[in-house]
Amino acid sequence: MADCGQTSNLSIINITLTFKPLTMSTINYEIYPLSGLHPDKTDYCVRAVHGGTVDAATIAREIQSSTTLTDGDVKAALSALSTVVKRHLSEGKSVHLDGFGHFKVSLRCTKKMTDETVNGKHVQVSGVSFRPERAMLRDLQDCSMKRTKATLQSKEVSEGELLTMLKEYFATNAYLRRTQFQYMTHLTKWMACRKLSEFVSQGVLRKEGPRNAPLYLWVGE
């Protein structure tokens, strides 16, 4: 493994495999309306409807049944992989896993950045971003698609409830990202962007930073 540089490349060791040829399955999707864009018509968008989460134990069993590794070997390898990846991320490196993609940490500041008084104690890890390999995306293009009646539509949240959430959030945070707002309100990406824009127009929030990754600061009602 590399001791320097910006990227750590972690390659999987050679193991005897008995996997059958990869057969892509079906991804469920829904079509939902984008209201408010045009007064005389309704635009529509498509998004995946995820049908559950596969945990590490399930992945370990599937790998074990298709390789010469024991169940204990697989679980130990997955645990070690997690530890090694976290160590490299903690060193400020991005991590590349062959066949998967690239991982790197995202940061946030816990106080308003107005001058050079911000130091390390005001900076925290806000998440880990993932960029998949082109080969993985290319393979997933072979999936079939099926429309489902299940829905991920935004839950109904009043403006008063959103304001209360924002007040509580900004009581301990200097700024807000769209992804954080979306997570705490359970709104869709499109609706979260729309609500944030409305709060900016109303003077409740102030928008700063680059257009593709803006920050929202609390102004007040």
Instruction: Look up residue 121 and give its DSSP letter.
Output: G
Give the pLDDT band of residue 36 (cuts 50, 70, 90): low
The answer as to whether 153 is a domain residue is no
Looking at residue 66, its pLDDT comes to: 84
Q: Strand pairing partners for 29?
A: 48, 147
Check whether residue 143 and residue 166 sit in a common domain: no
Residue 15 scores a pLDDT above 70: no
Check whether residue 24 and residue 124 sit in a common domain: yes
Radius of gyration of the chain (CA): 22
Mean per-residue pLDDT of the chain: 81
CB 144 within 8 A of CB 25: yes
Per-residue model confidence as pLDDT tens digits over 57-80: 889 988 888 888 888 899 999 999
Residue that wins the pLDDT comparison between 30 and 132: 132
> Where in the sequence is the domain holding 37, given as residue range(s)?
7-147
Check whether residue 180 and residue 77 sit in a common domain: no
pTM assigned to the model: 0.57
